[in-house]
């Protein structure tokens, strides 16, 4: 199993504070020591840092923690290998291009007996269930929508259908972004928080580090943080319902749908 961290904002924001706590879980405060990765969208471009070393001791993680890259969409992952050897080709997040945009994907879970027919348009380079699922999702989206990228709502509906199908194979928490939207599936475990005015102080769970957001933000700023487990111990995180799919844009949850039967909370934020 692994841990996920996502950020979606209405203004380019650095993730140094959240990453400082998250990074500790890669071998220091938790067991996810089989590599890590983080992707930052900057406009249409992506910076993707991947390292098969534990994040708690990785020199690249130290750089990311100290070098404020400003981004509206970030996807990060620390890995505890379930399927696939420890190696760079199996390190999340994965990236492919579809409709002239980069798509970034990271997965926490384990898909059993998932061997879809892939037509060659997107093929895994490594041998994880996660990359296979990502390739199948993109192939299915292209088959469904052809050459024309859909609007958010149509994409979300189709992703809900595909996610339902994948969820039959096992645990499938994921983050997916094209730089505009951050799509989040809570299969078993994810929580989120939307930070907006009035801003306050936050204190990390995994390290004795605080930040005063009142001094770093403008009143109109809005930042959604999504993580496998809450990163701070003095803020109210919302636990996502197992079997829920979310679409975040500009730091707000715009769409939410069930990927299992039963009632769902309304998106807050």
- What are the catalytic residues? 2
Determine which residue in the list 124, 243, 251, 267 makes contact with a second copy, applying CB under 8 A.
124
Q: Which of 12, 29, 42, 203 binds a second copy (CB under 8 A)?
A: 42
153 DSSP assignment: H
- Asked if 200 interacts with a second copy (CB under 8 A), we say no
DSSP per position, 105-136? EEEEEEESS------SSS--SS--HHHHHHHH
Q: Please tell me whether residue 46 binds a second copy under the rule CB under 8 A.
A: yes
Q: Which is nearer to a second copy, 13 or 217 (CB)?
A: 13
Residue 33 contacts residue 27 (beta carbons within 8 Å): yes
Q: Is 33 near a second copy (CB under 8 A)?
A: no
Determine the angle formed by the axes of helices 152-167 and 129-145, rounding to 10 degrees.
140
Q: Which of 113, 117, 147, 261 binds a second copy (CB under 8 A)?
A: 147
Identified binder of a second copy from the candidate list 1, 16, 29, 102, rule CB under 8 A: 102
Q: Does 245 bind a second copy (CB under 8 A)?
A: no
Measured from the CB atom, the residue of 143 and 207 that comes closer to a second copy is 143
Does residue 117 interact with a second copy by CB under 8 A? no
Longest Cα separation, the chain: 52
CA proximity to 79, closest of 60, 55, 48: 55
How many whole angstroms separate alpha carbon 3 and alpha carbon 69?
A: 21
Residue 13 touches a second copy, criterion: CB under 8 A: no
Q: Does 151 bind a second copy (CB under 8 A)?
A: no
147/151 with CB nearer a second copy: 147
The residue ranges of DSSP E strands in 16-98, in sequence order, are 36-42, 45-51, 70-78, 94-98
194 binds a second copy (CB under 8 A): no
- What are phi and psi for residue 66, nearest 5 degrees? -105, -10
> Residue 87 interacts with a second copy (CB under 8 A)?
yes
Q: Which of 10, 99, 235, 258 binds a second copy (CB under 8 A)?
A: 99
210 forms part of the interface with a second copy (CB under 8 A): no
Candidates 8-16, 19-27, 44-52, 190-198: pick the segment binding a second copy (CB under 8 A): 44-52
Half-sphere exposure of residue 137: CA atoms within 13 angstroms, side-chain side: 33
**H or E segment at 164?**
helix 152-167
Task: Report yes or no: 6 and 240 within 8 Å, Cβ to Cβ.
Answer: no
Q: Closest by alpha carbon to 56, among 34, 29, 24?
A: 24
In the bound complex, what is the minimum distance in angstroms from residue 121's beta carbon to a second copy? 7
In the complex with a second copy, the residue whose CB is nearer, 50 or 240, is 50
- CA-based nearest residue to 129, from 167, 181, 76: 167
Residues in touch with a second copy (CB under 8 A): 42-52, 59-60, 63, 67, 87-91, 95-97, 99-102, 120-126, 142, 147
């Amino acid at each position: 199993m692994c841990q996920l961290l996502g950020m979606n904002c209405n203004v380019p924001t650095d993730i140094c504070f959240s990453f400082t706590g998250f990074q500790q879980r890669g071998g220091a405060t938790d067991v996810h020591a089989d590599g890590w990765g983080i992707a930052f969208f900057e406009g249409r471009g992506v910076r993707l840092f991947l390292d098969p070393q534990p994040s708690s001791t990785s020199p690249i993680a130290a750089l990311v923690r100290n070098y404020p890259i400003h981004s509206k969409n970030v996807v990060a992952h620390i890995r505890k290998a379930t399927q696939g050897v420890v190696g760079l080709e199996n390190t999340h997040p994965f990236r492919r291009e579809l409709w002239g945009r980069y798509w970034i994907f990271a997965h926490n879970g384990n898909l059993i007996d998932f061997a879809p027919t892939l037509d060659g348009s997107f093929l895994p380079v490594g041998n994880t269930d996660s990359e296979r699922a990502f390739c199948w999702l993109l192939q299915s989206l292209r088959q469904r929508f052809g050459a024309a990228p859909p609007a958010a709502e149509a994409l979300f509906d189709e992703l809900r259908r595909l996610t339902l199908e994948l969820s039959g194979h096992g645990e499938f928490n994921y983050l997916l972004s094209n730089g505009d939207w951050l799509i989040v599936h809570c299969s078993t475990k994810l929580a989120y928080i939307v930070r907006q005015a009035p801003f306050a102080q936050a204190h990390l769970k995994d390290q004795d580090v605080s930040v005063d957001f009142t001094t770093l933000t403008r009143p109109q700023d809005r930042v959604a943080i999504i993580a496998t487990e809450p990163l701070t111990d003095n803020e109210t995180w919302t636990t996502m319902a197992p079997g829920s799919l979310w679409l975040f844009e500009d730091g707000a949850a715009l769409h939410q749908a069930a990927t299992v039967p039963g009632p769902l909370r309304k998106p807050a934020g």
